[in-house]
Amino acid sequence: MKKEKSTFGWIFTFAGSKKSGYIISVCLAVIGAAFQVLPFFVMATIISKLLTGNKNLSVYLIDCAVMALFWLLRVLFHSLSTAQSHKATFAVLGNIRKQGLDKLTRMPLGDVQTKDSGELKNILVERVDSIEPTLAHVIPETSSNAIVVLATLVYLLILDWRMALASLITFPLGMVFFVLMMAGYNKNYVRTVTATNILNDTAVEYIGGIEVIKVFGKAKSSYEKFVTAARECAQSYIDWMNKSNFYFTFAMNIMPATLLTVFPIGGLLLKNGTLTLEKFVLIVILSMGLITPIIGCMKFTDDLAKIGTIIGQITDILTAPELSRPETDAETPQDSTVELRDVHFSYNDTEVLHGIDLTFRAGTVNALVGPSGSGKSTIAKLIASFWDVDSGCVTLGGYNVREYDMDSLMKNFSFVFQNVYLFHDTIANNIRFGQPDTSMEKVIETSQKARCHEFIMKLPKGYDTVIGEAGGSLSGGERQRLSIARAMMKDAPIIILDEATANIDPENEKELMEAVNELTHEKTVIMIAHRLKTVRNAAQILVVDNGQIIQHGTHDELMKQDGIYRHFITGREQAVGWKL
């Protein structure tokens, strides 16, 4: 998607088939505006009759009834107009969220993970919601107000062009103060947006880390950090309002004060005989309602600027780079062999992988080991297309992964990560997340293989027990075994284990390793591990350091070499005997 569109260009794009709602809304608003102007013409006839001495009360009652009817019709058409614009606006908000979430699925997963989850949630939920009142009212109300102003001004020019200009004198004077009020708008608005983002991120961090905060006795300092962020957020708005209030007060009081110029100028023209009393009275009445609709349009200025900023944040997401993949597979993999050929990859213009060449044969167990930050997880994520390589290629079954449709590519991989994420749903639904139509019998069978069944049956509602957010109600080992059961249910030919056993307590280690063995049976396994005893029996161990493969072979072969792997093993063996 190209970003070179105006704010309202994007809005009409989001509206899709519902954009006709805005068109209907404008048409209804114009009709309502006509009924808003018509009473002034009736009022002109009433003034004319009064000045000619007409004392027939019934005539005036009819005129008043007509004016009341016009007012009711104006209210009716205004209500119909805003109803249409609200419907169109809700379609816009829905489409923004749908397109935003759909976009996240097409972006490199690594790019999505680098974005702050609190910020993404804030953009797609709160900020999208915040533009609804403005979007629903700005189009019909601006249209109707513009029509009222234009019709009134034309009528004033017809009555007397001098008085029409006299009724506009206060507007540019008020605008001077309005322009002064808007000085520094971008700087002030950026400050409020930045402060709000920091507050949202701090709140998410504070709530998500409350357990660690309390354990380490940092409740006071962490709360102070949140309070500081909240105070800065509030102060950014207070400072902005304090700077604007003086100019705003003068602008809003001077602009509608048309009588300050209409009375003296009209009085002089009336005295000189160049303006009739009938026209003077009518012009006074009309001038009092001339500027108010303009102010009605201007009240959306700040809101429109906010919409522009929010739409800009949304389009930053929608126009972000996507993984380039065909809609259907160009090839079918011959087997589950994975290869990396001269792969280079960079994070933020800093290359972290330098010409990686490796092969994971179908049906073999392979291990990636090395220091933290050496590039092990990056290699695994490139294999699974979390990102695309800068140069070189990743192949699956003999073909470049870029030749596969993303959904069909993902069917070849199952993942078990160190940090397990479980959904706020039943245990059964978490296990069959990738296969929602799976029978309960299959769920139980898979759970038994993953060594989950026993602890699940001890829970209050068994498989119907609802897991807390992110699986917080379960132990680390239980969550890890559920993630293994979920991967088993998918039954993909390639298994990627990213530090899956790193943080497991001794009580769960036996069950977890049995579950891993069930999961990886007859699969192509790519294992990232610091616990080196878990990789001793791997068919191939690759040692990664500083973004390069510096050693590869079996455990026995690597132990014969004087390199990082042997130093790791001997260091761990020595550490076993350490005591406090």
Q: Which tens digit of pLDDT belongs to each residue from 438-454?
A: 889 988 888 888 888 88
CB 263 within 8 A of CB 241: no
Strand arrangement of the beta sheet that strand 399-400 belongs to: 350-360, 338-347, 391-396, 399-400
Average pLDDT over residues 113-134: 77
CB 338 within 8 A of CB 383: yes
CA distance 17 to 247: 42
Residues constituting the chain: 580
Is the CA virtual torsion 4, 10, 12, 15 positive or negative?
positive
Q: What angle do CA 278, 283, 285 make, to 5 degrees?
A: 100
Q: Predicted confidence band at 73 (pLDDT cuts at 50, 70, 90)?
A: very high
Q: Predicted confidence band at 470 (pLDDT cuts at 50, 70, 90)?
A: very low
CB 291 within 8 A of CB 171: yes
Strand arrangement of the beta sheet that strand 540-545 belongs to: 413-417, 494-498, 524-528, 365-369, 540-545, 548-553
Average pLDDT over residues 340-362: 88
CA 406 to chain centre: 23
CA distance 409 to 456: 32
438 CB neighbour count, 10 Å cutoff: 16
Token pair for 110: 């690594």
pTM, two decimal places: 0.63
Q: Which position has the higher pLDDT, 445 or 18? A: 445
Q: Which position has the higher pLDDT, 525 or 108? A: 525
